[in-house]
């Protein structure tokens, strides 16, 4: 598996983990004592941190590490989970989500990741370490949190280290931790060598063992150690009370490693580490010795922040080191496989030459260089060059097991990069399939449906044109078989596309919580029927309308707690989203127990917006008044808070739902609440249509809209107020001449009968007069595109089995056209 | 078995992990004059090192691993670290 798909796997799993975290955090806010949920959220954060480590995304790791520590502190009872804490955690994970999107698109974190991480980490760590002063605010707009009582002892924060010439006095903890004897020893060495060095103070978190950290392992990887101290941060408790799982040890190390090397080594725990540059003069000050002018000059001029082991090289050696460093970069850069071998071999040659210039060579060097181009060659050569750059010293830190065929390179943060962090042996019961693949499947199924529909025509052709009746019959039989299989296949693919509504519902708890908080309203969300499934296209369409409806409820429907209390309602409002499956449709209700919709208010607003005239207003009943909200232009931005109604409104909801063949019903009881009922078909892809002949042409009508078909004597048609009607079983059905409406104007053969397609649109039945009825068909209706897109009368076209194209009528438009005509 | 505990001597070999810390600590608690042999030890998890530092057993076999020998051994040698309470 390539690195690329490992990243994709991580991204997809991270998305799931983030969803889990969101749900968990909201659950915890309601019930902080729920241990299982807390553990689950902690584990998810931990997994995120661990997996992110594979991909060199240090700010991500750092941020998730901070969330993990905070959650761990909550688990241990050291920190209380307040609304504020949850806010911070949610904010952090939101940032993570955003970063992962950027990584998916660009392969790296955004450029401001460091600042954003720093700000969030400060907020997350503040409750955990109240005694530690939180560093000053970092990036713009990211307020630092005032920490607890400051530490006047002046432990310098990480930002105090790299300075220009004239290093500040060495940190005071160096003397405390190492003792005067060691500090003097180091000072004397630095004075003699005319150089500076780095000091590290590593104070691991007490709970670090539980997150898999081993501080000793980390410090054992510090190269070029000159002084070392490990000390307990409190007095050792008596053995009887000693808790072996609580990390009390801290470490102070003097090293010639560069700041960069140390940063890299400690990149996963930067908040627990302080690194400072020191020189002989700084140590002298620390020891209280007088600093002679020449001391300071020597120190400042001598080495300063040299790269590891710089001890006044002559030009050749300096050049050789540059060459070595260049090889390091070369070897570290990613390269396509084809080039890799060549690159390593050429790097090895350059290394050999550079080492020879430095007077280093010999069989052990050759042995390593010979590995170039082989599987472990890169790491081996890189290691050799790093060692050489650090300077001549006994190869002390190559303890057993650090190198070896396929061995772990512990220098790289102690993780074996070749071992995938992901557990692939998970039983494989669920497949993650790309949506594109499923769409393709459906496309193919559609083509199969159309193709198989050609067989009956062939059969007919065989019988009538070729006089081969037996052949015709066998074709029909075979068609039966293929038909059955293709119907099963169709159903199976449609099943694959079925998604549970929980996909859409998932975001609502968070939405309701955030909006409720910002509006100062107490709202509880109830979700029912999350497992109800519908086609993915339908689900996708539902997302925006549902969000709008929920926001509407929160914004306009639900009253503020005081208002509710005054009205005798419970202070906490309830918004319910309920989904129920019917044979051919899914019904979704969005219900709130708010103030309901006042018909008078709606009427006034519609009037003010010029959407309705005074006279029309007077004729409206209550329900019709409420439904004025669906008129385009009813909602505009200025009337509504920033949350809802960005120029969309109920009109957009209605349009979206109707586009998939659904309906919207609004009902309300003033003072008690409102309900919006969405009814959408289970699937959009394949429709059954009824084919009719009109003026010599064929058209399709969705079967859902057909109430019945009747053929009656023409005498049954009567006229009422300039309108042809048919009386059917006590119902008066107005008739529409479809040929006239479609402006096809052909004569109809008058055989004394009339064929009527009785359709139901909304609440009323309308009869369409056609020439003849044909069979029903299952087709895939494709929307009109291009030149025909403007034809309102048709909602799409379908390819028939015989290759002809069927125009499918849009009933609503047809009827609208008919009214105009009449 | 990285940690081999006999009546008076604990022998630590190879890589001593965090899981070994608990039995080691228990043994240190229960043994009257614990001795520890580190000769074959290549790595001590911090938890194990802590336990040794807190208990202060006599080290009868210095480690041959370079890092442990040079920097960790001195931590285990008497006198105890200045801030430690006496073991008994």
Residue of B nearest to A246 (CA): B47
Which of B22, B83, B85 minimises the CB distance to A238? B85
What is the percent of chain A where pLDDT is above 70? 81
What is the DSSP pairing of strand B9-12 with strand B35-37? Answer: parallel
Nearest neighbour of A235 by CB, restricted to B44, B51, B85: B85
When the pLDDT of each residue in chain A is averaged and rounded to a whole number, the result is 77
pLDDT confidence band for A686 (50 / 70 / 90): low
Place A101 in a pLDDT band, splitting at 50, 70 and 90. confident
The reply to whether residue B54 touches residue A400, judged by beta carbons under 8 angstroms, is no
- Helix (H) or strand (E) segment spanning residue A201: strand A196-202
Instruction: Indicate whether B82 belongs to any domain.
Output: no
pLDDT at A438: 83
Q: Is B87 inside any structural domain?
A: no
Residue B49 maps to a domain: yes
Residues of B in contact with A399 (CB under 8 A): 42-43, 65-67
Spatial distance between the Cα atoms of A224 and A201, rounded to a whole number of angstroms: 15
A53-57, A131-135, A708-712, A722-726: the lowest-pLDDT one: A131-135
CB contact under 8 A, B53 and A232: yes
Q: Which of residues 400-459 of A touch B (CB under 8 A)?
A: 400-401
Q: In chain A, what residues touch B28 (CB-CB under 8 Å)?
A: 239
Q: What is the C-alpha separation between A86 and A351, in angstroms, rounded?
A: 53
Residue A132 has pLDDT above 60, yes or no: no
Contact B29 A240 (CB under 8 A): yes
Judged against a pLDDT cut of 90, whether residue B49 lies above it is answered with yes
Cβ within 8 Å of A, B 58-87: 65-67, 70-72, 75, 81, 83-85, 87
User: With 70 as the cut, is the pLDDT of residue A743 above it?
Assistant: yes
pLDDT tens string A531-541: 888 887 788 88
Report if residue B70 sits inside a domain: yes
Residue A408 reports pLDDT greater than 60: no
Q: Which of B29, B45, B85 sits opposite A216 (nearest CB)?
A: B45
Q: Which residues of B touch A396 (CB under 8 A)?
A: 66-67, 70
Per-residue pLDDT reduced to its tens digit, A214-270? 999 999 999 888 899 998 888 888 888 888 889 999 999 999 888 888 888 998 888
* Closest CA in chain A for residue B46: A216
Answer yes or no: is B28 within a domain: yes
Between A119 and A374, name the one with better pLDDT: A119
CB-defined contacts A:B, below 8 A: 91
Which B residues, 9 through 68, put their C-beta within 8 Å of a C-beta on chain A? 18, 21-22, 24-25, 28-29, 42-47, 49-51, 53-55, 65-67
pTM value? 0.42
Please tell me which of the candidates B49, B83, B87 has its beta carbon nearest to residue A216. Answer: B49
The tally of domains found in chain B comes to 1
Q: Which of A209, A232, A396 sits opposite B83 (nearest CB)?
A: A232
Suggest the residue from B50, B68, B81, B86 to mutate for an interface test with chain A (most A CBs closer than 10 A). B50
Question: CA A681 to CA A227: how far, in whole Å?
Answer: 74
A635 or A7: which leads in pLDDT: A7
Q: Give the residue from A173, A215, A216, A226 with the most B CB atoms within 10 Å of its CB, the best one to mutate.
A: A216
C-alpha closest to that of A75 among A119, A45, A51: A45
Read off the pLDDT of each residue in A628-636 and give the average, rounded to a whole number: 77
Query: Is B84 a member of any domain?
Result: no
Query: What is each CA distance from A252 to A276, A447, B25, in whole angstroms?
Result: 11, 72, 25
Instruction: Kindly state the tokens that stand for A291.
Output: 């600093």
Q: Is the pLDDT of residue A130 over 70?
A: no
Identify whether B88 is part of a domain: no
CA–CA distance, A444 with A457 (Å, rounded to integer)? 21
* DSSP string computed for A691-729: EEEETTEEEEEEGGGEEEEEEEEGGGEEEETTEEEEEET
Residue A231 sits at the chain B interface (C-beta within 8 Å):
yes
Both structure tokens of A283: 């140590």
Contacts with A461 (C-beta within 8 Å, 6 or more apart), sequence order: none
Give the model's confidence band at A290: pLDDT under 50 very low, under 70 low, under 90 confident, else very high: low
Closest Cβ opposite residue B46 in set A214, A231, A238: A214
Mean pLDDT, residues A438-466: 82
Q: Outline where A31-82 has alpha helix (H).
A: 35-52, 58-75
- Which band of pLDDT confidence, cut at 50, 70 and 90, is reported for residue A749? low
pLDDT at A421: 36
Indicate whether A525 pLDDT > 90. yes
pLDDT category at A312 given cuts 50, 70, 90 is very low
CA neighbours closer than 13 Å in the CB half-sphere of residue A216? 25
Range A662-689 average pLDDT = 84
The residue ranges of DSSP E strands in A637-704, in sequence order, are 663-669, 673-681, 686-694, 697-702
Closest CA to B37 of B58, B51, B20, B18: B58
What residues of chain A lie within 8 A of the CB of B45, using their CB? 214, 216-217
pLDDT at A396: 31
Task: Indicate whether this complex's ipTM tops 0.90.
Answer: no
B34 has pLDDT over 80: yes
Give the residue with greater pLDDT, A129 vs A254. A254
Query: In this structure, are residues A324 and A389 in contact, taking their beta carbons and an 8 Å threshold?
Result: yes
Inter-chain residue contact B84 with A217, CB threshold 8 Å = no
Q: What is the pLDDT of residues A644-660, one digit of tens each?
A: 444 357 888 887 887 77
Asked if A232's CB is within 8 angstroms of B54's CB, the reply is yes
| Alpha-carbon gap, residue A729 to A710, rounded angstroms | 12
The residue of B17, B26, B54 whose CB has the most chain A CBs within 10 angstroms, and thus the best one to mutate to test that interface, is B54
User: Hey, is the C-beta of A193 within 8 angstroms of any chain B C-beta?
Assistant: no
Full residue range of the structural domain in which residue B67 is found: 3-76
pLDDT at A684: 59
Report the residue of chain B nearest A400, measured CA to CA. Answer: B42
Interatomic CA distance for residues A52 and A409, integer angstroms: 18
Rounded mean pLDDT, A493-509 = 83
Give yes or no for a contact between A491 and A442, defined as CB atoms under 8 angstroms apart.
no
How far, in Å, CA of B4 to CA of B23, rounded? 10
Residue B15 domain flag: yes
Per-residue burial over A48-63, b if 16 or more Cβ lie within 10 Å, else e, is bbbbbbbbebbbbbbb
Of the candidates A236, A237, A397, the beta carbon closest to that of B66 is on: A397
pLDDT tens, A565-621? 888 899 889 999 999 988 778 899 999 999 888 888 888 888 888 888 888 888 888
- What is the distance in angstroms between the Cα of B67 and the nearest Cα belonging to chain A? 7
- Give the model confidence (pLDDT) of A169-215 as tens digits: 678 888 888 888 888 888 888 887 777 889 999 999 988 998 888 99
Distance from C-alpha of A122 to C-alpha of A239, rounded to nearest angstrom = 35
Please answer yes or no on whether B49 and A396 come within 8 Å at the CB atom. no
Determine the residue among B71, B79, B87 to mutate to test chain A binding: the one whose Cβ has the most chain A Cβ atoms within 10 Å.
B71
Instruction: Tell me the two tokens of residue A595.
Output: 């103030």
- Secondary structure of A517-565 in HEC code, one letter for each residue: HHHCCCEEEEEECCCCEEEHHHHHHHHHHHHHHHHHHHHHHCCCHHHHH
**Are A247 and B28 inside 8 Å of each other by CB?**
no
Q: Pick the most confident of A400-409, A448-457, A489-498, B40-49.
A: B40-49
- Higher pLDDT pick, A9 / A164: A9
| Confidence band for A143, pLDDT divided at 50, 70 and 90 | very low
Mutate to test the interface with B, among A239, A241, A251, A393 (most CBs of B within 10 A): A239
φ/ψ of A60, rounded to 5, equals: -65, -45
Nearest to A23 by CA among A549, A430, A513: A513
From chain A, the residues in CB contact with B71 under 8 A are 225, 228, 230
Q: Does A111 touch chain B (CB under 8 A)?
A: no
Of A813, A688, A720, the residue nearest A761 (C-alpha): A813
Q: Which residue, A322, A334, A320, is CA-closest to A378?
A: A334
Q: What is the DSSP string of A424-470?
A: --S---S----HHHHHHHHHHHHHHHHHHTHHHHHHHHHHHTS--HH
Query: In this structure, are residues A255 and A224 in contact, taking their beta carbons and an 8 Å threshold?
Result: yes
């Amino acid at each position: 598996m390539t690195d690329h798909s490992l990243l994709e796997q991580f991204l997809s799993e991270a998305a799931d983990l983030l969803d889990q975290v969101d749900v968990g955090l909201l659950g915890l806010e309601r019930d902080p004592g729920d241990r299982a949920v807390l553990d689950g959220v902690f584990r998810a954060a931990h997994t995120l941190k661990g997996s992110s480590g594979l991909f060199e995304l240090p700010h991500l790791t750092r941020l998730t590490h901070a969330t993990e520590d905070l959650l761990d502190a909550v688990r241990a009872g050291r920190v209380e989970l307040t609304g504020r804490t949850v806010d911070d955690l949610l904010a952090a994970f939101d940032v993570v989500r955003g970063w992962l999107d950027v990584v998916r698109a660009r392969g790296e974190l955004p450029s401001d990741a460091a600042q954003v991480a720093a700000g969030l980490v400060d907020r997350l760590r503040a409750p955990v370490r109240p005694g530690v002063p939180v560093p000053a605010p970092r990036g713009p707009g990211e307020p630092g949190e005032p920490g607890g009582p400051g530490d006047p002892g002046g432990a310098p924060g990480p930002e105090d280290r790299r300075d220009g010439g004239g290093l500040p006095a060495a940190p005071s903890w160096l003397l405390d931790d190492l003792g005067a004897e060691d500090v003097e020893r180091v000072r004397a060495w630095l004075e003699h060598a005319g150089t500076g060095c780095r000091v590290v103070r590593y104070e691991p978190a007490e709970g670090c063992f539980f997150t898999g950290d081993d501080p000793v392992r980390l410090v054992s990887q510090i190269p070029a150690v000159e002084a070392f101290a490990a000390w307990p941060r409190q007095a050792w408790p008596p053995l009887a009370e000693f808790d072996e799982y609580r990390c009390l040890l801290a470490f102070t190390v003097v090293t010639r490693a560069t700041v960069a090397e140390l940063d890299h080594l400690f990149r996963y725990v930067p908040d627990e580490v302080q690194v400072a540059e020191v020189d002989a003069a700084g140590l002298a000050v620390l020891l209280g010795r007088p600093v002679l002018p020449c001391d300071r000059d020597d120190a400042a001029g001598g080495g300063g922040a040299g790269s590891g082991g710089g001890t006044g090289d002559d030009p050749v050696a300096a050049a050789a080191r540059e060459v070595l460093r260049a090889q390091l970069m070369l070897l570290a850069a990613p390269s396509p496989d084809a080039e890799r071998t060549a690159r390593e071999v050429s790097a090895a040659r350059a290394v050999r030459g550079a080492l020879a210039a430095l007077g280093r060579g010999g069989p052990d060097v050759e042995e390593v260089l010979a590995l170039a181009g082989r599987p472990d060659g890169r790491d081996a050569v890189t290691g050799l060059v790093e060692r050489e750059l650090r300077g001549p010293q006994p190869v002390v830190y190559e303890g057993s097991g650090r190198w070896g065929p396929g061995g772990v390179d512990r220098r790289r943060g102690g993780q074996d990069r070749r071992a995938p962090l992901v557990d692939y042996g998970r039983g494989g019961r669920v497949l993650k399939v790309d949506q594109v693949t499923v769409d393709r499947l459906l496309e193919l199924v559609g083509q199969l449906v159309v193709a198989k529909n050609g067989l009956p025509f062939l059969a007919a052709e065989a019988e009538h044109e070729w006089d081969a009746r037996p052949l015709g019959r066998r074709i029909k039989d075979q068609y039966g078989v293929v038909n059955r299989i293709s119907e099963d296949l169709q159903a199976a693919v449609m099943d694959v596309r079925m998604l549970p509504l929980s996909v859409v519902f998932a975001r609502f708890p968070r939405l309701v919580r955030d909006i409720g908080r910002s509006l100062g309203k107490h709202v509880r969300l109830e979700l029912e029927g999350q497992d109800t499934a519908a086609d993915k296209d339908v689900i996708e369409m539902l997302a925006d309308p549902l969000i709008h409806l929920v926001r509407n409820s929160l914004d306009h429907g639900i009253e503020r707690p005081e208002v509710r209390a005054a009205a005798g309602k419970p202070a906490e409002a309830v918004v319910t989203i309920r989904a129920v499956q019917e044979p051919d449709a899914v019904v979704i209700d969005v219900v709130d127990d708010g103030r309901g919709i006042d018909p008078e208010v709606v009427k006034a607003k519609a009037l003010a917006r010029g959407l309705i005239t005074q006279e029309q207003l007077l004729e409206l009943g209550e329900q019709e008044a409420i439904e004025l909200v669906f008129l385009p232009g009813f909602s505009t931005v200025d009337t509504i808070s920033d949350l809802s109604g960005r120029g969309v409104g109920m009109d957009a909801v209605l349009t979206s739902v109707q586009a998939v063949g659904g309906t919207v019903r609004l009902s309300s009881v003033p003072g008690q609440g409102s309900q919006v009922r969405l009814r959408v078909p289970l699937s959009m892809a394949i429709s059954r249509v009824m084919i009719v002949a009109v003026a010599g042409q064929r058209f399709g009508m969705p079967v859902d809209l057909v109430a019945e078909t009747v053929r009656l004597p023409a005498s049954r048609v009567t006229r009422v107020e300039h309108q042809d009607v048919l009386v059917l079983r006590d119902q008066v059905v107005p008739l529409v001449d479809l040929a006239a409406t479609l402006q096809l104007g052909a004569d109809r053969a008058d055989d004394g009968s009339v064929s009527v397609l009785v359709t139901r649109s909304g609440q009323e039945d309308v009869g369409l007069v056609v020439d003849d009825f044909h069979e029903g068909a299952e087709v895939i209706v494709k929307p009109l595109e291009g030149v025909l897109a403007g034809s309102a009368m048709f909602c799409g076209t379908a390819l028939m089995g015989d290759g002809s194209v069927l125009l499918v009528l849009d009933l609503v438009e047809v009827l609208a056209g008919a009214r105009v005509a009449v | 078995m990285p940690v081999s505990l006999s009546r008076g001597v604990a022998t630590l070999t190879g890589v001593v992990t965090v899981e070994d810390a608990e039995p080691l600590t228990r043994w240190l608690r229960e043994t009257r004059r614990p001795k520890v042999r580190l000769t074959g030890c290549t790595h001590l998890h911090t938890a194990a090192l802590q336990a040794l530092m807190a208990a202060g057993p006599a080290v009868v076999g210095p480690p041959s691993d370079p890092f442990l020998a040079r920097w960790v051994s001195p931590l285990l040698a008497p006198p105890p670290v200045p801030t430690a309470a006496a073991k008994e």
